[in-house]
Amino acid sequence: MQGLRPASPAQSDRAYVTLVTNADYATGARALLRSIALTGTEADRVVLHTPAVAAADLAALTDLGARLVETDLLPTSDAFNAAHSRRNQHAAAPFTKGEKPPFHTPLDNFAKLRLWQLTDYASVVFLDADTLMLANCDKLFGYPEFCAAPNVYESLADFHRMNSGVFTARPAETTFAAMLAALDVPGAFWPRTDQTFLQRFFPDWHGLPVFCNMLQYVWFNMPELWDWSAIKVLHFQYEKPWQAPHPKAEQLAPLIELWQSYAGGGDVPVPADLPGPQ
């Protein structure tokens, strides 16, 4: 746990973990934490956060049941940091399918790997801060390292790639050290940051059903795949539901409305009762 500063002790040997490095992702994490709590899980909910996150934003996360663990970004080299600066990363590997919000810093993504340092847990499930848990996922704690869902949001070809917004892991300092050594090698450039790296580090990744990480663009690109009663985790990849307005807000209105119901304090709908895509 070197470099991790927990605000409180672990209460379980299993944890859902997310990452927050700024106020916008703290907004995302609030809705996520509320959605996880509503599934009735007894696993810990850990928010890995950098010192930059404001005390008031952190207090709101604690109020929702989070165990806060402060940490720094990875100790990567200047060359690595320059290669993965927002400007370089967007120029070298442009996003053509959707837009990344202005508050998204590619380098921050790599701090996800810190979860391998959470060695007071036997098993963890990572969730991006822009996800919502719509059904209990505790079963995943019994799954091996490393499981993730395919990065499906456009076509069948997407099944070749994994998405790092949801995955299972077994924390171990030895794994963390091996990752750091493999990550920051001379000339390293990971076009989709932690996602490209994890797919390389775990080439035989186990596939989770797409429903464990249903990407929002499936709603309009592959509506025949949408099944509210099967979706366990909904993931707002690219534009975020709290960005107002964003280029796809109209197309995604029902999903944004669902996110808002979790972000607010009121009732949330039963997903299986929701209408599907037209």
* Site of interaction with ligand UDP (CB under 6 A): 18-22, 25, 104-105, 108-109, 128-130, 165, 237-238
Nearer to ligand UDP, 175 or 216 (CB): 216
Cβ 109 to ligand UDP shortest distance, Å: 5
Nearer to Mn ion, 126 or 146 (CB): 126
Nearer to Mn ion, 14 or 235 (CB): 235
Q: Per-residue string for binding with Mn ion, 91-130, x by CB under 5 A?
A: -------------------------------------x-x
Cβ 241 to ligand UDP shortest distance, Å: 11
> What do you get for the CA distance between the two ends of the chain, in Å?
48
In whole angstroms, give the CA distance from residue 45 to residue 33. 7
By CB under 5 A, name the one of 28, 106, 150, 165 that touches Mn ion: 165
From the list ligand UDP, Mn ion, none, partner contacted by residue 19 (C-beta under 5 to 8 A by kind): ligand UDP
Nearer to ligand UDP, 18 or 41 (CB): 18
Nearer to Mn ion, 86 or 172 (CB): 86
Nearer to ligand UDP, 44 or 128 (CB): 128
Residue at token pair 């869902």: 149
Cβ 178 to Mn ion shortest distance, Å: 25
Q: Which residue is nearest to Mn ion (CB)?
A: 128
Cβ 129 to ligand UDP shortest distance, Å: 3
In whole angstroms, give the CA distance from residue 45 to residue 202. 25
Q: Does 24 bind Mn ion (CB under 5 A)?
A: no
From the list Mn ion, ligand UDP, none, partner contacted by residue 117 (C-beta under 5 to 8 A by kind): none
- Positions that interact with Mn ion (CB under 5 A): 128, 130, 165
